[in-house]
Amino acid sequence: MTTTDTSPTAAGSGANASEAFRASAERHGAADTSPERVSTVVSAVLEGVHKAIRDHDVTYPEFQAAKAWLMELGEGGEWPLFLDVFVEHEVEAVAARSQNGTVGTIEGPYYLPGQPTFGSVATLPQRDDEKGTPLVFAGQVRDLDGTPLAGAEVDIWQADADGYYSGFAPHLPEHNLRGVITADDEGRFEITTVQPAPYQVPTDGPTGKMISAAGWHPWRPAHLHLMVRADGHRQVTTQLYFRGGDYLSDDVASATKDDLVLDPAPGDDGRLRVDYDFVLEAA
């Protein structure tokens, strides 16, 4: 079987991302938004659209094409994918203004709660023949004062060496390269996994079609996704990237940050190893 045979279609991964989003309503909480605020924000969004139309002499055929595309985006279930790639980074930047400790970045559309749990030294669930360079990712979770946070949770999810996420690609086993690791009494953890590949926005769906119509590229740099949490502390949602990797400086999702780039090196046993510590602020 070639990778092409087993590629998840955009329709598949997009629709699954919509399902995952609907299931996450409770985790994200309710937006308590007053009519005044709705009016302010919606007016500003519409004014931005109106200005683009005026400034660029948008025509009726272009307006109708945009309408058809938006309908496809909804019917294909790709609103979560599109919004997380092109909009979430700005919402995250606003949240980051009031956040101390480890730098956050966007969650993206592929988090799934309820993954297998592990002790402080763990190997992520993977296939017997899992491709990719083995990687040992270790570190410590501390508070802003440097006190270790015993029993902190490192909830990790990532693409495989072909760039696909379990739960969103039918050829991958459930839970593949996903897990929740509980740090030891000193807040330490050590996770064995494989290096992920860059992620490509599916090219056969509406998001991918818009990207190619604009002449852009559909790639994100290789990354690990993490949520790190500890009792009494504010959870951080972030991603870690790899020094020297492709697309680090032109992520289609605009979600890289200098503080989030890992530099793995061969350890004593020849496997790639990298240390990264997390700092959480009190809730």
User: How many Å apart are CA 216 and CA 59, to the nearest integer?
Assistant: 22
* One of 14, 76, 80, 108 touching Fe ion (CB under 5 A): 108
Torsion, Cα of 238, 240, 245, 246 (10° steps): -10
Q: Is 206 in the site for ligand MBD (CB under 6 A)?
A: no
Shortest CB 119 distance to ligand MBD, Å: 27
Scanning 1-9, 102-110, 126-134, 171-179 for contacts with Fe ion by CB under 5 A, the matching segment is 102-110
Instruction: For residue 29, give the amino acid letter.
Output: G
In sequence order, the β-bridge partners of residue 86 are: none
Q: Is 167 in the site for Fe ion (CB under 5 A)?
A: no
Q: Is 177 in the site for ligand MBD (CB under 6 A)?
A: no
Scanning 38-46, 107-115, 128-136, 209-217 for contacts with ligand MBD by CB under 6 A, the matching segment is 107-115
User: How many Å apart are CA 194 and CA 88, to the nearest integer?
Assistant: 27
Binding mask 57-96 for Fe ion (x = CB under 5 A): ----------------------------------------
* One of 21, 205, 218, 220 touching ligand MBD (CB under 6 A): 220
The answer to whether 200 and 85 are in contact (CB under 8 A) is no
The 3-state DSSP class for residue 275 equals: strand
- 134-137-143 Cα angle (round to 5): 170
At 66, which helix (H) or strand (E)?
helix 60-75
Residue entry with tokens 């609907």 = 22
The partner in contact with residue 92, picked from Fe ion, ligand MBD, none with C-beta cut-offs of 5 to 8 angstroms by kind, is: none
Could you give the C-alpha distances from 197 to 4, 63, 161, 246, 280, in angstroms and in order? 16, 37, 5, 10, 28
Shortest CB 255 distance to ligand MBD, Å: 6
**Biggest CA-to-CA distance, the chain:** 64
The partner in contact with residue 106, picked from ligand MBD, Fe ion, none with C-beta cut-offs of 5 to 8 angstroms by kind, is: ligand MBD
* One of 255, 260, 274, 280 touching ligand MBD (CB under 6 A): 255
Phi, psi of 2 (to 5 degrees): -90, 165
The count of residues interacting with ligand MBD (CB under 6 A) is 11
CB nearer to ligand MBD: pick between 199 and 276: 199
- 120-124-126 Cα angle (round to 5): 160
Q: Is 109 in the site for ligand MBD (CB under 6 A)?
A: yes
Residues making contact with Fe ion (CB under 5 A): 108
Residues making contact with ligand MBD (CB under 6 A): 81, 84-85, 106, 108-110, 199, 220, 253, 255
